[in-house]
Amino acid sequence: MKATIAVLSGDGIGPEVTSQAIIVLQKIAAKYGHDFIFNEAPMGGIAIDQFGDPCPDSTIRACEAADAILLGAVGGPKWSDPTAPVRPEQGLLKVRKHFDLFANLRPVKAYPALAQHTPLRPELLEGVDLLFVRELTGGIYFGPRQEQGDGDTAYDTELYTVPEVERVAQVAFRAAQGRRKKLTSVDKANVMASMRLWRRTVVKVHEDYPDVELDHVLVDACTMYLVTRPASFDVLVASNMFGDILSDETSVLAGSLGMLPSASLGSATFGLYEPIHGSAPDIAGQGKANPIGTILSAALLLRYSLGLEAEAKTVEDAVDAALNSGARTADIVARGASFISTTEMTQAIVSNL
């Protein structure tokens, strides 16, 4: 297979972790006889500095010419003023909206080898293997908003339509069919009108997936259940904001935010793949960043955009093997213990491919 991948390394540790994912993808290409072409394009703060735009048109064109996007992270102290008219995060929202990437998949797996690095008792982590499906192009992040007058009043509107909820619910039900056939829909239907529409629509879509068990959980209760009985969940579907917050909460189940990948998908195979962590400017350039979230995101790219399931599984198994052999970056090592660098972790993974 020949495929083109647009690489948006971004800011902070973004270039460090994307470069390691590229190494893994190159090894996979060599192992399985593929030809992967990587095209770099600016995104985030670095693009603001160069072009005054967090996602210039040239970057959009590079993405349009690719089969998938591999993203690092955007933002940093230099561009952290939330009142600034141009901010790095706007570039990411632009890409999501431009390509209509409405479903964000965030798999969360508890690794027995990392159980000591979570705040939960080990028995609570047994069997934890869940998938968040977050609606990504609607809701309060994209609804009407305004800051009134001198800034004393402001509003952001939670806005959903039936078609928006239907399509992300269908993604979630299909995902559940391929797993343990259980879907949990997270909402706030007892208070919010938009969430009552959300629940009604998910119930309606469920009629087309009778083999999947559906239950509904209020978002505040879900925050508690995710740390008291996480293994009870299979697939969860949630709105843009709820899915953002809850999936970050589950990073403690994996041992570190640096462990979690994500895939942002539309109605076709094209997608954007990125770790869920930020740009971590406090450790940028120090070789401490954990590349696993980005490497696992590359595995999702192989699976969802390129249809290479065996190759994706090979990467995931190599990550498991590296962790089981004791390979640890700074974020997943016991306090005071020694750890390996970003590149050394990648080498440990590559040695198991």
> Is 313 annotated as catalytic?
no
Quick one: tokens of 144?
């009407």
Residues 234 and 180: beta-carbon distance below 8 Å: yes
Q: Which of 94, 181, 182, 188 is catalytic?
A: 188
Half-sphere exposure (Cβ direction) of 113: Cα atoms closer than 13 Å: 13
Q: How far apart are CA 337 and CA 181, in angstroms?
A: 41
Q: Which of 53, 129, 156, 248 is catalytic?
A: 248
Quick one: tokens of 59?
């970057």
> Is 317 annotated as catalytic?
no
Residues 143 and 93: beta-carbon distance below 8 Å: no
Radius of gyration of the chain (CA): 20
Q: How far apart are CA 140 and CA 240, in angstroms?
A: 7
Q: Which of 27, 67, 141, 234 is catalytic?
A: 141
Q: Which of 244, 273, 304, 331 is catalytic?
A: 244
CA angle, corner 314, sides to 313 and 320, nearest 5? 85
| 71 closest CA partner among 238, 246, 294, 253 | 294
> Is 244 annotated as catalytic?
yes
> Is 248 annotated as catalytic?
yes
Q: How far apart are CA 205 and CA 45, in angstroms?
A: 40
Q: Which of 49, 215, 220, 282 is catalytic?
A: 220
Range list of H helices, the chain: 14-32, 45-51, 57-64, 88-98, 122-125, 162-177, 193-206, 219-228, 240-249, 251-254, 292-304, 309-324, 342-350
> Is 220 annotated as catalytic?
yes
Q: Which residues are catalytic?
A: 141, 188, 220, 244, 248
